[in-house]
Chain A
Amino acid sequence: MPKRTDIHKILIIGSGPIIISQACEFDYSGAQAVKALKEEGYEVVLINSNPATIMTDPELADRTYIEPITLEMVTKVIEKERPDALLPTLGGQTALNVAIKLAESGVLDKYKVEMLAAKVDVIKKAEGREEFRAAMQAIGLNVPESAIVHTLEDAMAAGDAIGFPVIVRPSFTLGGTGGGVAYNRQELETLSLSGLDLSMTTEIMVERSLLGWKEFELEVMRDCKDNVVIICSIENMDAMGVHTGDSITVAPAQTLTDREYQEMRDAAIAIIREIGVETGGSNVQFAVNPQDGELMIIEMNPRVSRSSALASKATGFPIAKIAAKLAVGFTLDELKNDITRETYAAFEPTIDYCVVKIPRFTFEKFPEAEDVLSTAMKSVGETMAIGRTFKEAFQKAMRSLETGRAGFGADGKEQLDHLELFELESGLRIPSSKRVCYLHEALRRGMAVEKIFELTQIDPWFLRNLEQIVAMEQEIRQQGINGPDFLKKCKQYGFSDQQLAFLTGTSREEVRALRKQLGVLPVYKLVDTCAAEFESYTPYYYSTYEQENEASRSDRKKVMILGGGPNRIGQGIEFDYCCVHAAFALAEIGIESIMVNSNPETVSTDYDTSDKLYFEPLTLEDVLNIIDLERPDGVIVQFGGQTPLNLAVALAEAGVPIIGTPPDSIDRAEDRKRFQQFLQKLHLRQPNNDTVYTLEEALSVAAHIGYPVVVRPSYVLGGRDMRIVYSDRGIREFMAKPGIAGNKHPVLIDKFLEDAIEVDVDAICDGQKTIIGGIMEHIEEAGIHSGDSSCVLPPHTLSARLIEEIKEATRAMAAELGVIGLMNVQYAVKDEDLYILEVNPRASRTVPFVSKATGVPLAKLATKVMMGMTLEQLGLTTEVTIQHWAVKEAVFPFDRFKNVDTLLGPEMKSTGEVMGVDDNLGLALAKAQLAAGVTLPALGTVFVSVRDGDKEGILEAARQLVEMNF
């Protein structure tokens, strides 16, 4: 059936801010959907509160509303836009939940809006625990024994009946929020109370625990003619009990015979039919008893999910794009496979490589939180790697994690040899973000695979492969790099040059030189959906060490963009947004763009974002290997956040043409001593500060500057390990933290300016002229990390004189640093005096917010400036003033981490952001709050409690609240 002509205007709901379990994969899916529908001539209206998304770029949808995704707001948009249809399956759980509310409140009926892809009853059948269980039983599939309860009493009774341990799963929440494993009545009580509270329908399921069973997922697609295909199978390395988002996962499934795989496939197809998802993608999760193969259905998501994004990147099949087209009536056999161009979307991708996804955790940001993995998701991002073997892919994924590791152990970073056996065993038994390190240690000590399996329930197949890596490690230690064949084998096992250097006592540079001398070079193979059966046209590559190289250099002028790797707190979607804009800008000026990134959730790793995509770890070795092949005319390092920036100096030393601001300027801004000289030269003020390496120095410097002071290691992003300290004791505590003192990088100590206003500025400079992109005044006082602060654009309290001073200082610094591209400055204003806190000659976290607020695409313009164009040529000669207010608010993951202090400080803790826009500052702020999930009370009683020093300050606020009848 061709596309529907009875609908013209389609509303797409986004997923809002980045939170744990709902990250940039929904920008990826939403952006694909918007493009796909526009391509078919539909008018697309979009609502999303997250400004740092590609989908909310003005050129994407016909109308974009940056508004809170609430029933009220979406209703207003529907009232105004009168769309014919609503597509709710591409914006995660947020979109699905709002869609249900819209349907149930009668809004959709009233405005005659049709729900595409999945109707309300379908969503409820899939998401409602009881309905789902009944549906599964109706088609003869097994689900774990369970009870749906709405009260604590019933929950306890259910626990007793089923037998402990049990799993608590709240209905209609995402990422398993509020769920967990209860081993006894006490734990069940705690979990039930929080679960009932978090569920949209005050409903939880108490379920038989399948701890230790193997976990699998299938990605299914269906069209309106009931054609169903499986896009990808995924096997979790971590057994049941760890949320799939927190599990190391592998595609395709490794340990199923065809008979078992097909049984699962049949079940997935029966489920999508029984649940009644009319069109699009769904994800089904299975548990398999390793003893006898018994199959249980765990859950089904009737929408595009995080796993869909992973499956798309793992296979090359664009699930979200196809899902959008199926929603408007196309069938799978009518849609072409973009990759092969000749075949159709009605097929099942087959792959000839192995894909490993490893989640990225940030427990270090929440020291009070327990690093234990369970059924509620805690990871903030993920990285994916592709290799021809599991071993290669696993090691590549480990070094893609951006945790300073060079692979699976063998890099001198583990240091677990002091562990007693019982400690090691407990580290293996209890799933945590560090379990993979314990695995390495156990294998290194020669613990039997059977024993490790008993402790971890990780399938022996994975353990055997890991064991082979460790055996290879020992071999390398013993015999060194013994000839080209052996070196090639090491590389095929995924060992990085860094690991080989560590194991053989040489340097990474030496290993690299030797490798080149011996001719052991990577080749690049295509991700082509079909295991080479058909010719493919999409240049999406991964590296491996084999015979045939499929990537070839073009004659075009080309620029490489280095992405940001896995999402983590401090480095999120904002940087991916900038990288994507760089690719778009290069396309606009006819230059070939080459993207390098390892994050499967992003738009940057979509095969049609750039001209070429290398899905590779962002380490010096992997990047240099691609550069050797592509020999780009320039490399952009200033958009992908700290990850590529950390490579800048080494790349420049290797003779790589870094374009834009020279690496030396980056160093001048990062190196405190040089930065001080730089500011003195410009007669600019900074809080009194110094650089120290030892505790003694730190104490004396702090005494000299005077408490309170801000302490932090240099070269970090997101305020990692940054503290405000008020006494010698604080200094001692800070310097005693592991990895602080005695490091290559020094510790910075700054005077902390109390009660100061913080100001963020983003500017663009072409080497001659500097244009201020936006001045943002923080609402929180200085001392709260800028990523965690809410801010207002334009500044709402700063005097005209100060604003002028800020602009002048920004221009002067840009000129002095020779910035070509973007620059971000953080200022503090205290008593009308301006202090420079930090200068970053690179894209900042606020670039997308400023671009959305002002309509000036800063990242694109910066890319063109880096390519040698002037701002005048680009038509940006004056600063844009806006007539509305834009407020940015941060969103925090505190609900994920029990017992964590929600107090904000200089260490960044937020995972995402939202934007509120209005003519009225108060309303803009209220919208931002609403979008961040904070419902502001309109009446009630206010309890005020502040320390003496703040009593003066609270007076005005208290007075206003009283006037509003609180």
Chain B
Amino acid sequence: MKALIALEDGTIFEGESFTGRGEAIGEMVFNTSMSGYQEILTDPSYTGQIVTMTYPLIGNYGVNSDDMESVAVHPKAFLVKEYNAVPSNFRSEETLAHFLSRYGVLGVEGFDTRALVRHIRTVGALKAIVSTEDLDRDSLVARAKAWDGLLGVDMVQQVTCDQPYGWADNRPVPGTSFSTAQAGMSNSLKVVALDCGIKFNQLRIMTEKGCQVQVVPAATDAETILTMVPDGVFLSNGPGDPAGVQGVVETVRALLGKVPIFGICLGHQILGLAYGGSTYKLKFGHRGGNQPVKDLTTGHVEITSQNHGFTVDLDSLDKEAIELTHINLNDGSLEGMRHRRFPAFSVQYHPEHAPGPHDSLYLFDRFVEMMRSEIKKRN
């Protein structure tokens, strides 16, 4: 079925839907990972976006129930060069097309995705519409233009959990206290994870590292969190413009200095705002699994998984209070920072990978060490 992809600047591509009829409007972004499409699709940070994969052959290994990063598919539409309909992998349970259809997400193939990527690289992320329903080019472009876009919008509300939950046996367990988390871990560290669009692998890893994790809705206030007496607070990734997120910055500001904090991606940006800094939108962002980041504290280079369109403005930060810890080798952008006085640190990228390299798992160890040393200080 013919599908048109229209960008707000009038650029049009013609492809074929591999998931049947549909229409989606969103921000056009691209991801350069060669594997991990299922993790990308289930990453809540892609909410509101239309994702184009640069790797041309997608669907090869199907979809399985273990590689879910949340309980849903978040992008509005998924664009590839060639959809491979018959998967081959021992873990495959379902075809990608079926998976997308189940979640009502449009999949389109058969067009020059590289040309689209080059276009976005040149002009920046654009508002776009993908449709099998409306094939009138002018109408599509006008509708893409007319869409409000993501700037200043609080997208976290759309993806954060309604009710708190814990994590046990490799799955979410509903509940409101630490007792719902894995039993028999009396020595474990208690972490409250503020869910701005959390990826399950963050929970899997923290649990593996001996943490009991309690996930709470993003709107949970500082007082509520502190009454849970956590050893640390984790700020997850999430979609959209950090400046549009309501309330979370204030919550974090109130927590700062009272409890160790580790932030990832949107969590990092929120920390930046809580420190008094500002954020801005990158031209087309970083999305992929090959971004080199240098840890300035060790000089070591790690290959990281990334997915962000906004970044913390390095110049807006108070250098007296905030130490730059990680930079992106490609463009010199801010990738990690730490508070000089308070136990708080964060990275712009995804140490929980899924998909992507496992080079940055040490950050979770740093979080654990930080919590332990704070406990020591208290005692």
Do the two chains belong together in a single complex?
yes
Which stretch of A249-257, A829-837, A922-930, A939-947 is in the interface? A249-257
* A693 at interface by CB-CB < 8 Å: no
Task: Determine the chain A residues whose CB is within 8 A of the CB of B64 once the complex forms.
Answer: 257
Residue on B with the closest CB to A525? B114
Chain A residues, CB < 8 A from B301: 225, 227, 331-333, 346
Cβ–Cβ contact A293 & B290, under 8 A:
no
Q: Taking the complex as formed, is A459 at the interface, i.e. its CB lies under 8 A from any CB of chain B?
A: yes
Roughly how many angstroms separate A292 CA and B89 CA in the complex, as a whole number? 9
> What residue in chain B is nearest A531 (Cβ atoms)?
B54
Q: How far is the CB of B168 from chain A (nearest CB, A)?
A: 21
Q: How far is the CA of A350 from the CA of B66 in the complex (A)?
A: 25
Say whether A548 faces chain B, with CB atoms less than 8 Å apart: yes
> Which residue on chain B has the smallest CB distance to residue A523?
B112
A363 to B328 Cα, complex, angstroms: 52
**B57 — which chain A residues lie within 8 A by C-beta?**
254, 354, 389-390
CB of A310 within 8 Å of the partner chain: no
Contact of A347 among B112, B292, B300 (CB under 8 A): B292
Chain B contact residues (Cβ within 8 angstroms of A): what range? Answer: 35 or more
Distance in angstroms from A623 CB to nearest chain B CB is: 24
CA distance A292 to B356 in the complex (A): 22
Collect the chain B residues with CB atoms within 8 Å of residue A253's CB.
34-35
B64 and chain A: residue at smallest CB distance: A257
- A293 vs B89: C-alpha distance when bound (angstroms): 9
Contact B117 A257 (CB under 8 A): no
Whole-angstrom distance from the CB of B5 to the nearest CB of chain A?
12
- Are A389 and B329 in touch, CB under 8 angstroms? no
Looking at B79-87, B149-157, B339-347, the stretch in contact with chain A turns out to be: B79-87
- Tell me whether B355 is interfacial, beta carbon within 8 Å: yes
- Does A533 have its Cβ within 8 Å of any Cβ on chain B? yes
- The docked-state distance in angstroms from the alpha carbon of A258 to that of B86 is 18
Q: Is the CB of B117 within 8 A of A532?
A: yes
Given A255-B61, A461-B60, are A262 and B329 also a contact pair (CB < 8 Å)? no
In the bound complex, CA of A346 to CA of B295 (Å): 13
**B88 pairs with A350, CB closer than 8 A:** no
CB <8 Å contact, B67 and A259: yes
Determine how close the nearest CB of chain B comes to the CB of A265; give it in whole angstroms. 6
Question: Which residues from B are CB-within-8-Å of A548?
Answer: 112, 114-115, 118
Contact of A225 with B61 at beta-carbon distance under 8 Å, contacts A256-B35, A292-B90 already known: no
A266 in contact with B300 given A389-B56, A459-B88 (CB within 8 Å): no
**Interface flag for A189 (CB, 8 Å):** no
Assess the B330–A257 pair: CB atoms within 8 A.
no
Write out the residue numbers on chain A whose beta carbons fall within 8 Å of the beta carbon of B30: 533
Q: A530 contacts B32, CB within 8 Å?
A: yes
State whether the Cβ of A137 lies closer than 8 Å to any Cβ in chain B. no
- With A532-B121, A533-B32 as known contacts, state yes or no: A343 contacts B355, CB within 8 Å: no
Task: Give the residues from 318 to 368 in chain A that come closer than 8 angstroms, CB to CB, to chain B.
Answer: 331-333, 342-344, 346-354
- Report B3-53 residues with CB < 8 Å from chain A CB: 13, 30, 32-36, 38-39
Interface residues of A in 48-96 (CB under 8 A from B): none
Q: How far does the alpha carbon of A165 sit from the alpha carbon of B314 in the complex, in Å?
A: 62
Determine the main DSSP class of B at the interface with A: loop
Which residues from 260 to 300 on chain B have a C-beta closer than 8 Å to any C-beta of chain A? 288-292, 294, 299-300
Which residues of A have CB within 8 Å of B33? 258, 350
* Distance of B63 from chain A, by nearest CB (Å): 9
- Which residue in B88, B121, B358 is a CB contact (below 8 Å) of A262? B358
B32–A460 CB distance below 8 A? no
Given contacts A346-B329, A530-B32, whether A258 and B84 have CB atoms under 8 Å apart is no
> B residues within 8 A CB of A333?
292, 294, 301, 329
By the criterion CB–CB under 8 Å, are B118 and A532 in contact? yes
- Considering only residues 332-361 of chain B, those with a C-beta below 8 Å from chain A are 353-358
Q: Return chain B residues, CB-CB under 8 Å to A291.
A: 90
Set of chain B residues within 8 Å of A227, measured between Cβ atoms? 300-301
A290 within 8 A of partner (CB): yes
Which residue of B has the minimal Cβ distance to A387? B56
CB-CB < 8 A to A254: which residues of B? Answer: 57, 60
Q: CA–CA, A390 to B13, complex, Å? A: 22
Q: Give the residue name and chain of the B residue nearest to A548 (CB).
A: B115
Q: Is B303 an interface residue (CB 8 A)?
A: yes
> Are B112 and A547 within 8 A (Cβ)?
yes
Contact indicator A258/B67 (Cβ below 8 Å): yes
Q: How far is the CA of A256 from the CA of B64 in the complex (A)?
A: 12
Give the chain A neighbours of B34 by CB distance below 8 A: 233, 252-253, 350-351
* Bound-complex Cα distance A955 to B263 (A): 89
A262 & B115 in contact (Cβ 8 Å cutoff) = no
Flag if B291 contacts A293 (CB, 8 Å).
Answer: no
Docked pose: A233 CA to B35 CA in angstroms: 11
Query: B111 an interface residue at 8 Å Cβ cutoff?
Result: yes
* Bound: A354/B60 CA distance, A: 13
Looking across the interface, which residue of chain A has its beta carbon closest to that of B81?
Answer: A388
A767, B357: Cα distance in complex, Å: 61
A349 to B91 CA separation, bound complex (whole angstroms): 27
Residue of A261, A266, A349 contacting most chain B CB atoms (<10 Å): A261
Nearest CB on A from B292, distance (A) = 5
Is B113 part of the contact surface with A, judged by Cβ < 8 Å?
yes
A470 to chain B, nearest CB (A): 15
Q: Does A229 contact B (CB under 8 A)?
A: yes
Contacts A262-B356, A343-B329, A347-B330 known; A389 to B82 CB distance under 8 Å? yes
Measured between alpha carbons, how far is A229 from B55 in the docked complex, in Å? Answer: 19
- Does A464 belong to the interface (CB within 8 Å)? yes
A226 within 8 A of B: yes
A255-B60 contact, Cβ under 8 Å, with A332-B301, A531-B32, A532-B117: yes
Within the complex, what minimum Cβ distance (angstroms) separates A351 from chain B?
7
From A252, A256, A534, give the contact of B89 (CB < 8 A).
Answer: A256
* Contact of A351 with B329 in the complex, beta carbons under 8 Å: no
* Closest partner residue, chain A, to B91 (CB atom): A257
A261 to B60 alpha-carbon distance, docked (Å): 13
Please tell me if the beta carbons of B329 and A226 are within 8 angstroms of each other in the complex: no
What residues of chain B lie closer than 8 Å to A838, measured between beta carbons? none
CA distance A539 to B362 in the complex (A): 39
Tell me whether A546 is interfacial, beta carbon within 8 Å. Answer: yes
Q: How far is the CA of A534 from the CA of B292 in the complex (A)?
A: 14
* Contact partners of B66 in chain A: CB under 8 A: 259
Query: Chain B: which residue is nearest A292 at the CB level?
Result: B90
CA distance A333 to B353 in the complex (A): 22
Can you name 18 A-B residue pairings with CB atoms under 8 Å?
A229-B303, A233-B34, A256-B89, A258-B36, A262-B356, A262-B358, A347-B330, A349-B290, A350-B32, A388-B56, A388-B81, A388-B82, A461-B60, A461-B88, A464-B84, A531-B288, A532-B121, A533-B288
Where the two chains meet, the residues of B that have a C-beta atom closer than 8 Å to any C-beta of A are: 13, 30, 32-36, 38-39, 54-57, 60-61, 64, 66-67, 81-82, 84, 86-91, 111-115, 117-118, 121, 288-292, 294, 299-301, 303, 329-330, 353-358
- A contacts, CB < 8 Å to B: 225-227, 229-230, 233, 252-262, 265-266, 290-293, 331-333, 342-344, 346-354, 388-390, 459-461, 464-465, 525, 530-535, 546-548, 550
A258-B38, A535-B121 known; 12 other A-B pairs, CB under 8 Å? A255-B89, A256-B61, A258-B354, A262-B356, A291-B90, A333-B301, A342-B330, A348-B357, A389-B81, A532-B54, A533-B121, A548-B112
**Which 4 A-B pairs rank lowest in CB-CB distance, beginning with the nearest?**
A258-B36, A258-B355, A548-B115, A531-B54
